[in-house]
Structure 1
Amino acid sequence: MAISFNQAFAGHDKMLEFRSARASVLANNIANADTPNYKARDITFGSMFDEAKNKLRLASDDDQHIQGSSAADDDSGLFYRNPSQPSLDGNTVDMQREQAEYAQNSMRFDTSFMFLDRKISGLKKALTGN
C-alpha cells in the first residue's frame, strides 16, 4: 500500500501555510499601527482556498482551446477590516484586537504543528517498526 502524503498529513501542512500567512498580515498591521491612513487587513482560510482554486489552470491539448486562467492578483485573499473605532488620522488598526488575533493565531499554529509532528512521528514508527 502506497503512502499518500496529502492523506497522511490530513491538511495540517496547508493549515501551517495559512497560519504563517495570517501571522505575516497581522504583524504588518501591528507594525503600521501609527501610520496615517493605513487600513488594517486580514485573511481567512476560505479566501486563501478560493485564491488557490482560482489559480488552477485548465488542461488543454490543442492550441486552439481557450486557456483557463484567473485574473486574481496577489492580494486577492486579503480583505480590509471594518474598524470598530476609526481614528482621526484614518488608521483602522485596533492594537488590542491585532495583538489578541496574533496570539490566537500563534496558538493555533502551534496546535497544527503539534498535530503534524505527531503524524510524522507515527509514519516514522510505522516505517521503522520502533
Structure 2
Amino acid sequence: MNLFGGTFRTLEQSLDYASLKNQVISNNISNVDTPNYKAKDIVFKDYLAKAASNLEAKRTHPKHIPFNSPRDNNYQLITKENTVFNHNGNNVDIDKEMANLAKNQIYYNALIDRMNGKFHSLQTVIRGGN
C-alpha cells in the first residue's frame, strides 16, 4: 500500500522535469552568441500527442520502432527551428530565457517545499503525532 497515494512519485517526476528544464535553459543561455544555434525546450509528450493525434503513421517494416513506444518520462526535448532573432542565425531570446529560468526556479522551489512538507508529515506520523 502506498502511504501517500503516489505523491512522492509525482513530486520526483516533477523535480526531474524541473531539473532537466533548468539544464536546457542554461544551455540556451550559454549559447546565446553561438552562430546558427537553435534554442531547445522541454515539452510534455501529452501535448505533442494531442497535436499529432490527427496524423496517421504506418510502419513499413516490423523492425521499425512503433510510434507509440513507452518512455520513462512524460516530456521531450525539442529544437525551436522556426525563428531567427540574431544576424548570425541564432534564435535564443536572452530575455525570454532569463524569464523562463526564474519561472522554473520558482516551480522547483515550490516542489521542494511540497516534498519537505510530505517528509514532515511522515516524520509526525512516525513520532506518533508529536
TM-score, normalising length: structure 2:
0.70
CA deviations over 1:111-130 (Å, ceiling 9, x no partner)? 01101110111011112222
Shift of the 7–100 alpha-carbon distance from structure 1 to 2, 3 Å rule, reads same
Q: Work out the CA distance in 1 between the residues paired with 2:124 and 2:12.
A: 20
% same residue: 31
1:30 maps to: 29
CA deviations over 1:71-124 (Å, ceiling 9, x no partner)? 98xxx81112343x5211000100000000000000000001101110111011
Read off the aligned partner of 2:114 and give its amino acid letter. F
CA deviations over 1:10-47 (Å, ceiling 9, x no partner)? 61111111000000000000000010000000002x23
1:103 maps to: 102
Aligned length: 108
Contact kept, 8 Å, 1:48 with 1:77, in 2: the verdict is no
1:126 maps to: 125
Shift of the 101–118 alpha-carbon distance from structure 1 to 2, 3 Å rule, reads same
Instruction: Give 1:49 deviation, angstroms.
Output: 9.5
Q: Per the alignment, in what secondary structure is the counterpart of residue 92 of structure 1?
A: coil
2:88 maps to: 89
TM-score, normalising length: structure 1:
0.70
Shift of the 106–94 alpha-carbon distance from structure 1 to 2, 3 Å rule, reads same
Structure 1: tracts of 5 or more residues without a match = 51-65
Shift of the 108–39 alpha-carbon distance from structure 1 to 2, 3 Å rule, reads same
1:77 maps to: 76
Read off the aligned partner of 1:125 and give its amino acid letter. T
Q: Per the alignment, in what secondary structure is the counterpart of residue 90 of structure 1?
A: coil
Structure 2: tracts of 5 or more residues without a match = 49-62
- Give the CA RMSD over aligned residues: 2.9
